[in-house]
Amino acid sequence: MKKWIIGLVLFGVIFFFLYRWAVGFNNKAVIMQEDAKTSWSNVESAYQRRNDLIGNLVKTVQGAADFEKTTLTEVINARAKATSTTINAGNLSSDNLAKFQQVQSGLSDALSKLMVVVERYPDLKSNQNFLELQSQLEGTENRINVARDRFNENVNVYNKHIKVFPNSVLAGLFNFEEMTRYKATPGSENVPDVNFDFSKKE
């Protein structure tokens, strides 16, 4: 009888610790996952701010006489694609992230070309509204980089939590899957830099 009671107590103790471990793992994984999703929302918010600023920039450039319509059209079309491409934080698959990055890189490329063309228009380069938008865009680019880095950091913390043993066992049972990090589109490192310094007049 005593052995039966001891066995039951041991079973109860083991079950209690296993339960506490499982609950602790699950709650921590959920918090980390939600932090990563929030970080992604901040990434999209930063890109949306850039899209809004580019929209205002386009309106300013459209007012310039004889401005190259082809270059402007490229920016308008690229911005339309970038604005319409969003990802639900709960569906951050590698394919979706790749598509998102592709359209954003396309917009960056079109914007870079626009800035090169602007060099031929002294009136634009000295336009106060234009210069203000340039400055805000530069700050937004920095925000985007910071937001992407934070997203990757949070994803990294979450992924390590669910992949280390024995957490990996519970991750499979509770359906916690590895999240995809944000990666630059191959070849994007060759996109020309955007020069935002147009304060010097010709």
Is 19 within the bounds of a domain? no
The values of phi and psi at residue 150, to 5°, are -65, -35
- Alpha carbon distance 200, 202 (integer Å): 7
Residues 41/147, Cβ–Cβ less than 8 Å: no
> What distances in angstroms separate CA 38 from CA 66, 85, 150, one per listed residue?
44, 18, 10
| Cα–Cα distance for residue pair 31/139, rounded to 1 Å | 30
> Can you give the residue range of the structural domain that contains 44?
29-190
Read off the pLDDT of residues 77-111 as tens digits, 9 standing for 90 and up.
999 999 988 888 888 888 888 899 999 999 999 99
Name the domain count of the chain. 1
In a domain, 172, yes or no: yes
pLDDT at 186: 55
21 part of a folded domain: no
Tell me: the pLDDT tens digits for 148-161?
999 999 999 999 99
pTM score > 0.75 for this model?
yes
| 179/187 Cα distance (integer angstroms) | 23
Residue 4 pLDDT class (50, 70, 90 cuts): confident
Kindly tell me if the per-residue pLDDT of 28 is higher than 90.
yes
Q: How far apart are CA 9 and CA 30, in angstroms?
A: 31
Structural domain includes residue 13: no
CATH number at residue 145: 1.20.1440.20
In a domain, 167, yes or no: yes
Backbone angles phi, psi at 180, to 5 degrees: -90, 135
pLDDT at 69 over 70: yes
Residue-averaged pLDDT of the chain: 84
Q: Is 201 part of any domain?
A: no
In 3D space, the residue among 126, 116, 109, 124 whose CA is nearest the CA of residue 57 turns out to be 124
CA angle 26, 42, 74 (to 5 degrees): 135
